[in-house]
């Protein structure tokens, strides 16, 4: 796979090697035929097929191949071709589905690559027209300036797409106000099952009848069948469907019948909503929009008993909230144990709390929002500790609310804290590396709120009977609780438990007038329960509707409804089943302090697609190569799934060690560590890559360039000793061309300039400003390779600032932290360096010295990676000692508030701050911002990802264009900032920023600007 431009070229070495042979529909030359019909890419190679074998569900089905259409004409050509040969077709969006509806043995149509634009937008009419591959996050970001939005807000809306929202009839936390997607789809351009392109919208019943013809073309036959279904099944639909705000089980016949009978309107787009790509392929959609609320207010209600919280949902709904969300003690206790959420939970939720309800109101102004919260809290029985006064004028009390205590939030920052609490436990719930996992297969039942208490109590009994448990959280307001039982599907017993629990819970859903799915759809997990939920007559109606739209059942077959002789079973096609086997092919080198070790990490990705975000809409660190190229294979999800599939035997034996796999799947992972923080499951792809690269070196050897970069400290020492002659060498005409052709160093990249006087030379020639005897703190400043040999000024600045804080500073004799060898996969070399360093540093630390570093990646090396290298060996204790007392220089100043005692001048400047991805991944990036602000600077901290240099990556010729494509994302953010100057702590980041088109020079390290602000 090449990266010669911002979008990585598709792999095509196996384009003609796969022919579909599905029973009687065998057709040689399928790949070549499709390639000749469409302008988009056609990929039927084994890697691409495996990339699309999974989604965010528990299922895995290898598709026939993948097509990336560029237009409606491409989609129509594929569907028409496949229809003639009865080859299944699956329209797929972001692959974030939880029920398995986006995996199938079919030709996959991925519209997210090319068909992802906003076509039209009319703010006055509150309408927009867009292609199916546009993410809801991008769509709403575009609409925001007009104060409008697409109202349904699924949790992964910044990664899920419009086509998927229609296919799933998506909704979200605020469905109490906005309902489901069906209410907002006004018109759809679609490709029917025979390849016909048409536009469908709402129409009066008489128009439908005029266009209907049972003997006509496919579209006319569809209209005839819709009319017949309304007439023949209308009464049954009205009695069989539950009365719920949230029901996406089966086809949307209740919506169809209700609108036809009450309004005389036949809503064909609404019928397509929730059809999961089984009726037609949407290629454009016109949607109606809602205004963004003027303001919001929130209440947080705490309960000693979860069932009391369920009792309170109905009286809370009487206050017309926009959202009512619940968290249980399972999630709260998990979150309480984490570094990221522990303090938040500790502050907001006392021990012993079994449930928290978050209630949000929309309001026209702050006063109205406060009144809504006051009215709600006035109904609470205890009442004494709330801000609301039950006797205040204008506050009407209603049915009592049983919350033990309550808080409220009105400003934006406090509301964000409340919502952060709501999201706190899920990452831990999804982060299990054991064989038992909290799996999604009945996680979104919808129950009338008045029945929630009894439903939860009975559900808990079912789980207890199967000796397991689950968390009960999410959308209490509309009665949609997310419930994921802990089950091991790698065992026969676990699979049987899953089927039995699903069967019993479906009976419970029917008993309590609910729906099996209130949000995530049918797919492979729930299609089989639609007959039990609605009865045989409605099941027959589903089959007849499917046959009318799709006579040969080629569109995503087996979802929503199936042929009786070809059933869909929730226990088939499991990603992890009793036949699953895992063999990494080598013994891990690093210490894996998680359940199941490296295997647990390799199996951790659950496929939510959080790594497929776009910087402008999602921020965060991951996944920079996906953001630059839009390739599934370059996302953390793509790499993690491919690595697991290779090690689980879905690819040829030892494929993970092939040149192709290492080059195409792993090579463009730049080790930013963003996934270890931003991924909900915290998949550590950088660490997995290090293991695999190391093993590859053991088997196949390493290139000269890799060895040179791994030993860059030694090379830099020579370059410094020979300066300035060494700096002139690269300026000799033709030298850069020779370097690129011989060892692969990009000719376009600015090379480091070596300094004859190193930081250690300078430090050896001076007396520390603060004597050791007079200092409260002692620091060993470890000069990394770049700081010592290329940019000593940053090290000098660090020493000046530390000494201004009355710190005694000595420069350590160590310059190589082992980071270069680690990043290139030479783990044995990195371990040897780490062992030597910790045995040198640990005794000094025990004597009271702290270790401080200027370069963020080297600081994180000591703080984190040393534990992976040495965590289970003889040097483990020394590594832990050093890790606990190692700091980045700005982290050190901020954590101990040393800069508060420093006298600063008044710099009066506004800086743009780009943090290093390793610091962001380890949650240490904020320290620099605090120090800069206390030094007198205004600071705009960018929510930026990796700069794209990634150590040696940006210097490598074959990676240069990818590096620049990632850098362009950062350059745009810098250009949009109000800062007068950009600062960045990472040496690689400063190199990349110095090479941007409008840069005059490399930007400074932030510690240099702190030093500049020191008072005379």
Q: What is the pLDDT of residue 679?
A: 85
Q: What is the pLDDT of residues 238-294, one digit of tens each?
A: 999 999 989 999 999 999 999 999 999 999 999 999 999 999 999 999 999 999 999
Please say if the pLDDT value at position 570 is more than 80: yes
Cα Rg of the chain, angstroms: 30
Average pLDDT, the chain: 92
Please say if the pLDDT value at position 670 is more than 80: yes
Buried b / exposed e along 549-572 (16+ C-beta atoms within 10 A): bbebbbbbbbbbbbeeeeebebbe
Q: Which of 19-33, 198-212, 872-886, 927-941 has the lowest mean pLDDT?
A: 19-33
CA distance 456 to 462: 10
CA distance 108 to 53: 10
CA distance 518 to 481: 9
Q: What is the pLDDT of residues 131-154, one digit of tens each?
A: 999 999 999 999 999 999 999 999
CA distances from 741 to 79, 359, 659 (A): 46, 63, 21
Percent of the chain with pLDDT over 70: 95
Q: What is the pLDDT of residues 499-533, one digit of tens each?
A: 999 999 999 999 999 999 999 999 999 999 999 99
**Neighbour count for residue 908 (Cβ, 10 Å):** 10
pLDDT classification of 390: cutoffs 50, 70, 90: very low
Considering the entire predicted model, what is its pTM?
0.92
CA distance 971 to 372: 44
Cβ 249 vs Cβ 525: under 8 Å: no
Q: What is the pLDDT of residues 969-1014, one digit of tens each?
A: 999 999 999 999 999 999 999 999 999 988 889 999 999 999 999 9
CA distance 166 to 928: 44
Please say if the pLDDT value at position 17 is more than 50: no
Please say if the pLDDT value at position 15 is more than 60: no
Q: Which residues fall within 8 angstroms of residue 38, CB to CB, at 6 or more apart? A: 67, 69, 70, 74, 77, 78
Q: What is the pLDDT of residue 387?
A: 40
Please say if the pLDDT value at position 95 is more than 80: yes
Q: Which residues fall within 8 angstroms of residue 413, CB to CB, at 6 or more apart? A: none
User: CA triplet 732, 737, 743: central angle to 5 degrees?
Assistant: 110
CA distance 522 to 8: 34
Please say if the pLDDT value at position 738 is more than 70: yes
Cβ 656 vs Cβ 617: under 8 Å: no
Q: What is the pLDDT of residue 120?
A: 97
Please say if the pLDDT value at position 10 is more than 60: no
Cβ 498 vs Cβ 571: under 8 Å: yes
- The residue with greater pLDDT, 426 or 780, is 780
Q: Which two tokens stand for residue 790?
A: 């290329």
Q: Tell me which DSSP letter residue 888 carries.
A: E
Cβ 441 vs Cβ 521: under 8 Å: no
CA distance 765 to 772: 17
CA distance 204 to 215: 22
Strands 89-92 and 107-110: parallel
Handedness of CA 671, 673, 679, 684 (dihedral sign): positive
CA distances from 318 to 173, 312, 326, 604, 846 (A): 17, 10, 17, 42, 62
Q: Report phi then psi at 266, rounded to 5.
A: -100, 115
Q: Tell me which DSSP letter residue 212 carries.
A: -
CA distance 207 to 230: 15
Location of structure tokens 């603060």: 770
Element (H, E) at 919: helix 917-921
- Show the DSSP H helices in 474-571 as ranges: 492-511, 523-526, 530-534, 536-549
Q: Across residues 802-818, what is the average pLDDT?
A: 96
- Show the DSSP H helices in 805-848 as ranges: 819-823, 827-846
Please say if the pLDDT value at position 383 is more than 70: no
Q: What is the pLDDT of residue 22?
A: 40
Q: What is the pLDDT of residue 61?
A: 97
Cβ 212 vs Cβ 514: under 8 Å: no
Location of structure tokens 């959202």: 323
Cβ 96 vs Cβ 172: under 8 Å: no
Q: What is the pLDDT of residue 327?
A: 94
Quickly list DSSP for 942-1001. Answer: ------S-TTTGGGBGGGHHHHHHHHHHHHHHHHTS--SEEE-S-HHHHHHHHTSTT-SS
Cβ 542 vs Cβ 530: under 8 Å: yes
CA distance 554 to 557: 6
Angle between helices 218-240 and 253-263 (to 10 degrees): 90
Q: What is the pLDDT of residues 458-467, one digit of tens each?
A: 999 999 999 9
Cβ 920 vs Cβ 677: under 8 Å: yes
Element (H, E) at 203: strand 197-204
Q: Which residues fall within 8 angstroms of residue 731, CB to CB, at 6 or more apart? A: none
User: CA triplet 793, 798, 804: central angle to 5 degrees?
Assistant: 125
CA distance 211 to 204: 11
Cβ 83 vs Cβ 159: under 8 Å: no
Q: How far is CA 79 from the centre of its chain?
A: 31
């Amino acid at each position: 796979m090449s990266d010669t431009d911002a979008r990585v070229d598709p792999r095509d070495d196996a384009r003609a090697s796969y022919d579909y042979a599905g029973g009687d529909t065998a057709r040689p030359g399928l790949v070549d035929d499709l390639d000749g019909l469409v302008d988009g890419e056609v990929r039927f190679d084994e890697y691409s097929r495996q990339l699309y074998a999974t989604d965010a569900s528990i299922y895995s089905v290898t598709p026939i191949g993948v097509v990336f259409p560029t237009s409606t004409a491409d989609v129509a050509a594929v569907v028409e071709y496949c229809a003639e040969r009865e080859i299944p077709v699956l329209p797929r969006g972001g692959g974030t589905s939880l029920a398995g509806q986006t995996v199938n043995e079919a030709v996959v149509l991925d519209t997210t690559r090319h068909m992802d634009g906003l076509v039209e937008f009319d703010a006055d009419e509150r309408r927009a027209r867009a292609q199916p591959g546009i993410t809801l996050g991008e769509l709403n970001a575009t609409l925001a300036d007009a104060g409008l939005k697409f109202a349904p807000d699924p949790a992964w809306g910044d990664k899920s797409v419009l086509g998927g929202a229609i296919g799933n009839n998506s909704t979200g936390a605020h469905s109490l106000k906005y309902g489901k997607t069906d209410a907002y789809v006004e018109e759809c351009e679609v490709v029917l099952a025979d390849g016909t392109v048409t536009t469908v919208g709402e129409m009066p019943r008489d128009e439908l009848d005029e266009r209907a013809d049972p003997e006509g073309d496919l579209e006319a036959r569809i209209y005839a069948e819709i009319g017949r279904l309304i007439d023949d099944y209308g009464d049954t639909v009205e009695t069989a469907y539950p009365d719920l705000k949230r029901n996406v089980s089966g086809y949307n016949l209740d919506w169809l019948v209700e609108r036809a009978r009450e309004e005389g309107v036949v809503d064909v787009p609404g019928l397509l909503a929730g059809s999961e790509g089984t009726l037609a392929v949407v290629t454009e959609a016109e949607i109606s929009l809602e205004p963004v609320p003027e303001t919001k207010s929130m209440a947080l209600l705490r309960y000693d008993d979860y069932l009391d919280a369920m009792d309170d949902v109905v009286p809370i709904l009487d206050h017309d909230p926009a959202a009512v969300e619940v968290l249980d003690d399972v999630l709260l206790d998990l979150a309480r144990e984490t570094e990221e959420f522990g303090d938040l939970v500790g502050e907001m939720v006392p021990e012993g709390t079994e449930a928290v309800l978050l209630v949000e109101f929309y309001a026209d102004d702050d006063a109205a929002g406060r009144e809504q919260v006051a009215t709600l809290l006035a109904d609470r029985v205890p009442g004494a500790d709330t801000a609301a006064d039950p006797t205040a004028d204008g506050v009407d009390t209603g049915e009592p609310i049983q919350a033990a205590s309550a808080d409220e939030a009105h400003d934006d920052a406090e509301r964000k804290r409340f919502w952060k609490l709501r999201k706190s436990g899920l990452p831990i719930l999804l982060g299990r590396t054991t064989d038992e996992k909290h799996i999604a297969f009945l996680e979104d039942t919808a129950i009338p709120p008045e029945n929630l208490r009894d439903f939860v109590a009975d559900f808990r009994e079912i789980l207890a009977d199967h000796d397991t448990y689950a968390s009960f959280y999410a959308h209490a307001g509309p009665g949609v609780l997310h419930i994921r039982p802990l089950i091991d599907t790698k065992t026969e017993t676990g699979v049987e438990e899953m089927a039995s629990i699903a069967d019993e819970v479906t009976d419970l859903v029917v008993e309590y007038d609910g729906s099996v799915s209130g949000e995530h759809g049918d797919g492979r997990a729930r299609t089989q329960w639609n007959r039990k939920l609605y009865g045989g007559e409605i099941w027959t109606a589903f089959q007849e509707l499917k046959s009318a739209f799709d006579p040969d059942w080629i569109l995503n077959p087996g979802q929503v409804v199936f042929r009786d002789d070809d059933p869909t079973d929730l226990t088939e096609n499991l990603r992890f089943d009793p036949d699953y086997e895992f063999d990494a092919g080598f013994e891990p080198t690093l210490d894996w302090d998680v359940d199941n070790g490296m295997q647990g990490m390799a199996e951790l990705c659950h496929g939510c697609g959080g790594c497929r975000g776009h910087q402008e809409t999602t921020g965060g660190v991951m996944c920079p190569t996906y953001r630059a190229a839009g390739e599934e294979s370059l996302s953390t999800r793509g790499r993690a799934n491919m690595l697991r599939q290779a090690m689980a035997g879905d690819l040829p034996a030892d494929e993970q060690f092939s040149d192709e796999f290492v080059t195409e799947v792993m090579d463009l992972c730049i080790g930013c560590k963003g996934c270890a923080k931003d991924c909900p499951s915290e998949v550590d792809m950088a660490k997995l890559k290090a293991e695999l690269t190391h093993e590859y070196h053991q088997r196949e050897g390493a290139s000269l360039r890799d060895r040179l970069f791994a030993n860059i400290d030694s090379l830099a020492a020579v370059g410094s000793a020979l300066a300035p002659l060494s700096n002139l060498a690269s300026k000799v005409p033709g030298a850069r061309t020779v370097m690129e052709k011989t060892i692969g160093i990009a000719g376009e990249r600015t090379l480091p300039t070596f300094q004859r006087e190193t930081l250690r030379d300078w430090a050896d020639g001076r007396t520390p400003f603060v004597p050791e005897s007079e200092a409260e703190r002692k620091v060993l400043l470890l000069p990394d390779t770049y700081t010592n040999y290329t940019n000593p000024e940053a090290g000098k600045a660090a020493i000046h600032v530390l000494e201004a804080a009355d710190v005694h500073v000595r420069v350590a004799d160590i310059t190589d932290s082992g980071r270069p060898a680690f990043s290139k996969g030479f783990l044995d070399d990195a371990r040897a360096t780490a062992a030597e360093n910790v045995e040198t540093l640990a005794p000094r630390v025990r004597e009271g010295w702290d270790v401080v570093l200027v370069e963020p990646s080297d600081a994180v090396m000591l703080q984190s990676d040393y534990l992976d290298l040495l965590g289970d060996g003889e040097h483990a204790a020394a590594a832990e000692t050093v890790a606990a007392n190692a700091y980045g220089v700005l982290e050190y100043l901020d954590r101990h508030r040393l800069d508060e005692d420093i006298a600063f001048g008044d710099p009066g400047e506004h800086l743009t701050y780009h943090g290093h991805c390793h610091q962001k991944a380890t949650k240490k990036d904020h320290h620099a911002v605090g120090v800069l602000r206390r030094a007198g600077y205004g600071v705009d901290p960018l929510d930026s990802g990796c700069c794209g240099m990634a150590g040696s990556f940006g210097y490598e010729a074959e990676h240069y264009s990818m590096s620049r494509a990632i850098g362009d994302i950062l350059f745009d953010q810098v250009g949009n900032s109000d800062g007068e100057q950009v600062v960045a702590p990472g040496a690689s980041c400063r190199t990349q920023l110095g090479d941007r088109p409008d840069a005059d020079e490399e930007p400074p390290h932030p510690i240099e600007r702190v030093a500049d602000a020191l008072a005379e």
